[in-house]
Structure 1
């Protein structure tokens, strides 16, 4: 995965045709092999490929001689891409502007900062050929009531605060700061029929 923080590269990746080419180039291909996939002439595909190459989104794998022409085989530089809020410059969300732990907009701003910061660290680690030390926890919890949700929020805040106080040390030489973000938000409802039936049955069977 590559995090794009250059505005020009972000714009190039968002073009629908170029996005299709990037998806197709998870496996190496040439303008000739890709032309039928995207429904364009080889010349137009070549134009898009060169634009993607200029912005570091695809790379040359090999060149093959085909009669009077040289066929360039390209490959995407990553299997997937994420556009960093850094590409938005001054209009990127900043969690420092209006900190509010109960605000959905602040949650989005925190997530945007995470993408920006970790994306930069990921690029540096890849350049240095080193692993990046991170931790992520993903879980789902179903609350029986709004009161339970509020109680959970209080308990979670107390637990995280206690852990931070236990391990945070400003005095030790050579210590390195880490960012900790904990988020809780509703899930988007799953509209699949089998899931709906299961949820309905669970509610009906609840005493």
Structure 2
């Protein structure tokens, strides 16, 4: 099972976003289960769950992991293909967020468009790396900071910008014959109140 899968196919996203199907996926993350077990857990019929499991399976969101025979009946056990899923903006096609269409680079809209681009690009790169049996080299820096004043926040933004520009200039090699381009993104936003330290 993959830790996370990025859904960029619109049909797979629609299937996964159905409330009952997303509930089935959440239950299967805990442990593989049969349609009968899932039906009892969600309070519906085994036939209805079997139908929804079929839809999830057709889009690669669940896989059959075992079979058990009870009194001549075969019970199939299913597990999700990933521990969690995220829907890529690519599923929206031309309507997906695009940083090039946002003029205000200091706006929340631009931040979201850049984050959406990262999700779309990295999702595609992960699929390619998996298909090639290769790891995907990435780096993530994630921290929290508490600013005393808006002026302190502005000063931090200036310092961060200068540091990233200087660091990129020091390590960038335009002429490297075997060099590989990387996209570096730094995002900052208020931490939601419910997100504990």
Kindly state the Cα deviation for residue 32 of structure 1 after the two structures are TM-superposed: 1.2
Alignment of 1:1-207 (within 5 A): 1-26=4-29, 27-190=31-194
TM-score, scaled to structure 2: 0.93
SS of residue in 2 equivalent to 1:59: strand
SS at match of 2:100: coil
What is the CA distance between 1:188 and its match in structure 2? 1.4
Runs of 4+ aligned residues of structure 1 deviating over 6 Å after TM superposition are: none
Runs of 5+ in structure 2 lacking a partner? Answer: none
TM (normalized to structure 1)? 0.89
Preserved CA contact (<8 Å) 2:63 2:81: yes
- Aligned CA RMSD, in angstroms, stands at 1.5
Unaligned runs of 5+ in 1: 196-207
Deviations along 1:108-145, whole A, 9 cap, x unmatched? 00000011011111112222222211111111111111
Offset of residue 176 of structure 1: 0.3
Equivalent residues, number: 193
Following the alignment from structure 2 to structure 1, what is the Cα–Cα distance between the partners of residues 190 and 148?
13
Computing the radius of gyration from Cα coordinates, the structure with the larger value is: 1
User: Which whole-Å CA distance do the structure 2 matches of 1:94 and 1:107 have between them?
Assistant: 10
Is the 2:102–2:109 Cα contact (8 Å) retained in structure 1?
no
- Shift of the 22–99 alpha-carbon distance from structure 1 to 2, 3 Å rule, reads same
